[in-house]
């Protein structure tokens, strides 16, 4: 690496699921202690990082989401300190009950104290419809459960012809990968009761791709596995990150595994403090992660390494 400090990475295949910051060097130190990493979907991303006049609206924060106030007893019984669900199949989504994330209200309150003009949507107001009606907020922060559902093998009828059974496996998979990752918003636990053609509280990656984020500077998804998706060689991760890029977001901060609620709140508060101080969008996250790494309670990478930054690393603009 020579004297390099800032490393740009455009990972492919399974490498997209690895936080390089948490790897160990020959001196038994984490790479984050020596290098700053920025992730790109491809080298073409660099062409979009030129300064431009942006017309964005005020930051928006969604937190302490009321997934279903009629199933509080069920949610309390399944209360969790980790954000998100993993190892799911499509059939499992219908039976999922999203539990409250108690620390996210404090997270939103702390962010509001740092970014005074931020609009905060809590509880039943943090709806899928509200997100879809946003017009390029400069920052969009969603503190909620994320999900990623692994692909479902299609069992072919034995009576089908041999020619059909010999089709490439990717042709036989009928599930859209952008429908298998997403975020839980208000009312998500009542999604099966939602009227046809209405918002059901589950914001899929496909719906994220249709959001108006053309002038958005930063999207933070402080939820579990929001950085995961279908891994396609030569194409990276086909999920929420891909959808946010399509929607126009300049920078994305997403997670690769289940994250501790309290540790995430602490990390996010430090991140926004660093952004407010003028640090770059990626360097601000690195600084926050190093603070957790050097703390007595959150030294393990499971607490700080889940979040990876992608896209533009420059400081936020106030234009």
Domains located in the chain, CATH noted: 57-151+159-311 (3.40.50)
Other beta carbons within 10 Å of 225: 28
Polymer length of the chain: 319
Could you give phi then psi for residue 282, rounded to 5 degrees? -90, -40
Cβ pair 68, 75 in contact under 8 A: yes
Helix axes 261-276, 104-114, angle to 10 degrees: 10
User: Can you tell me the distance from the alpha carbon of 264 to that of 11, in angstroms, rounded to the nearest whole number?
Assistant: 25
Please enumerate in sequence order all residues whose Cβ is within 8 A of that of 269, keeping only pairs 6 or more positions apart, or say none. Answer: 107, 110, 111, 114
Q: Can you read off the two tokens belonging to residue 192?
A: 């099966």
Q: Are strands 181-184 and 202-204 parallel, antiparallel or unpaired?
A: antiparallel
H helices within the chain, ranges in order?
A: 72-77, 90-93, 104-114, 128-132, 162-165, 169-172, 205-208, 240-247, 261-276, 283-293, 301-304
Task: Give, for all 319 residues of the chain, the pLDDT tens digit.
Answer: 678 899 999 887 788 888 999 999 999 999 999 999 999 877 777 776 766 656 899 999 999 999 985 444 344 334 445 565 544 434 456 667 788 888 899 999 999 999 999 999 999 999 999 999 999 999 999 999 888 777 654 444 444 445 444 545 444 455 677 887 889 999 999 887 777 777 889 999 999 999 999 999 999 998 765 555 544 444 444 588 889 999 999 999 998 888 888 899 999 999 999 999 999 999 999 999 999 999 999 999 999 999 999 999 999 998 6
User: Can you tell me the distance from the alpha carbon of 316 to that of 303, in angstroms, rounded to the nearest whole number?
Assistant: 25
Could you give phi then psi for residue 143, rounded to 5 degrees? -100, 90
Q: Can you read off the two tokens belonging to residue 104?
A: 């996210």
Q: Can you give the pTM of this predicted structure?
A: 0.83
Q: Is the dihedral of CA 72, 74, 80, 85 positive or negative?
A: negative
Could you give phi then psi for residue 219, rounded to 5 degrees? -120, 125
Distance of CA 270 to the CA centre of its chain: 18
**Contacts for 44-51 with beta carbons within 8 Å, 24 or more apart?**
45/10, 45/311, 48/250, 48/312, 49/250, 49/312, 49/314, 51/317
């Amino acid at each position: 690496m020579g004297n390099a400090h800032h490393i740009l990475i455009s990972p492919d295949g399974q490498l997209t699921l690895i936080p390089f910051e948490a790897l160990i060097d020959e001196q038994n130190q984490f790479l984050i202690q020596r290098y700053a990493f920025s992730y790109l979907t491809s080298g073409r991303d660099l062409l979009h990082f030129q300064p431009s006049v942006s017309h964005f609206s005020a930051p928006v924060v969604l937190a302490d989401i009321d997934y279903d106030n009629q199933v509080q007893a069920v949610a309390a019984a399944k209360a969790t300190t980790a954000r998100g669900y993993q190892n799911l199949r499509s059939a499992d989504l219908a039976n999922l009950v999203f539990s409250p994330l108690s620390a996210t209200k404090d997270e939103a309150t702390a962010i509001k104290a740092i970014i005074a003009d931020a609009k905060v949507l809590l509880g039943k107001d943090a709806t899928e419809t509200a997100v879809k009606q946003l017009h390029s907020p400069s920052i969009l922060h969603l503190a909620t459960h994320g999900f990623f559902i692994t692909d479902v093998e299609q069992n072919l009828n034995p009576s089908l012809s041999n020619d059909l059974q010999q089709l490439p496996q990717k042709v036989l998979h009928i599930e859209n990968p952008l429908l298998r990752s997403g975020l839980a918003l208000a009312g998500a636990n009542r999604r099966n009761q939602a009227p046809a053609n209405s918002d059901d509280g589950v914001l899929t990656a496909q719906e994220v791709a249709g959001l108006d984020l053309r002038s958005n500077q930063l999207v933070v998804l402080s939820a579990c596995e929001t950085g995961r998706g279908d891994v396609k060689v030569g194409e990276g991760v086909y999920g929420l990150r891909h959808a946010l890029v399509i929607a126009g977001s300049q920078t994305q901060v997403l997670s690769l595994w289940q994250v501790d609620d309290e540790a995430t709140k602490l990390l996010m508060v430090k991140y926004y403090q660093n952004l407010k101080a003028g640090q770059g969008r990626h360097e601000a996250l690195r600084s926050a992660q190093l603070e957790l790494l050097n703390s007595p309670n959150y030294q393990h990478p499971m607490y700080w390494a889940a979040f990876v930054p992608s896209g533009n690393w420059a400081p936020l603009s106030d234009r």
